[in-house]
Amino acid sequence: MIYPGVIGTGMYVPSKKVNNKQLSKLNNILAKEILEKTGIKERRIAEKNETASDMGFKAALKAIKSSKIDKADIDQVICSTFSGDYIYPALACKISQKLNLKQPGCFDVMANCTGFQTGTNIAFNNIKNSKNIKNILVVGVAMQSRYINWKDPYSSIYFGDGASAAIVSNVGKGFGHLGSSLISNTNVYESVRMRGGGSSFSNSPGIKKTFKQFYEISGLEVWKQVVTFQPKNIRLALKEAKLKLQDIDFFIFHQANSNLIKFLMSRLDLPMSKTHLTVNKFGNTADASIGITLDEATKRKKIKKNDIVLLSGVGAGFVFGTTILKWAY
């Protein structure tokens, strides 16, 4: 029997920090108001010469080192992103090239802010179902600063750049993946979007006049979706894993807004000591968010061997994903 799980994690964020005082000069929102609304104090922004593949590569190196495997033994690379170096080829291919890997299978997935968790689920299934796949590198990359209108008071306050990675492998009986759930509510498809570059709004010279090349977001709708559907999604994953909420030792949530995470923990009647926040210093790092938070919580010994860990995210669309693991190291 194969028991897939996570054997190593890594993360990378750019060194450049943008705090709320700096941001308020662009969007005319008071720094205090940004903090009160989002819980975000600062975010990391990539330099002009930094690429999405650079960030993914650096996070991947850390995950490989953490896992203690030889990179030559990586059989697949799965990358979750919407902000690759190009529209195509897949960013996973570029990251593999930079790592100088030996012809692994490479592909991208797009589930936005629940993408990292979705990518790990695909990895678990691939390892379970193939005798030829032993180790998979999962990477989440968010190069969002290139798509933000920094004068927009609605979208500019939330997002940052970053990358995260994990190595998925067989972790042995009694550990690893216990259950998952993935659901969606497509009735609010238009609530969080970036239309520019899509086939309906290609990057023609006139696109910049319409501002469709930037993020558009309804923060209120995000809040409504999370409080309505994320608890349901968590219950479905718990049912599959044959567990109760009280069995979970630690919770890793997508870092959209610290106020939202605090509200969700309260609604689930859980103490904040059972989760970890990174949104306050990195902002919402989309596809990288869950992986960044998981890596930091692990490095800080908040997650230990034998802990049952729940990863849960929400992404544009809206897509809700939850994964439950028994931690193996």
Query: Is 276 one of the annotated active-site residues of the chain?
Result: no
Q: Which of 112, 126, 257, 284 is catalytic?
A: 284
User: What are the angstrom distances between the C-alpha of 316 and each of 75, 96, 185, 217?
Assistant: 30, 27, 10, 9
Query: What is the distance between the alpha carbons of residues 160 and 255, in angstroms, rounded to a whole number?
Result: 11
Q: Which of 113, 126, 170, 233 is catalytic?
A: 113
Query: What is the distance between the alpha carbons of residues 114 and 255, in angstroms, rounded to a whole number?
Result: 10
Query: What is the distance between the alpha carbons of residues 32 and 58, in angstroms, rounded to a whole number?
Result: 33
Query: What is the distance between the alpha carbons of residues 283 and 257, in angstroms, rounded to a whole number?
Result: 8
User: What are the angstrom distances between the C-alpha of 23 and each of 18, 31, 282, 291?
Assistant: 7, 8, 14, 26
The torsion of the CA quartet 277, 281, 282, 284, rounded to 10 degrees, works out to 60
Tell me the Cα Rg of the chain: 19
Query: What is the distance between the alpha carbons of residues 104 and 75, in angstroms, rounded to a whole number?
Result: 5
User: What are the angstrom distances between the C-alpha of 231 and each of 118, 225, 313, 316?
Assistant: 17, 10, 11, 17
Query: What is the distance between the alpha carbons of residues 265 and 6, in angstroms, rounded to a whole number?
Result: 24
Query: Is 284 one of the annotated active-site residues of the chain?
Result: yes
Q: Which of 112, 233, 254, 257 is catalytic?
A: 254
Give me the active site residues, please.
Answer: 113, 254, 284
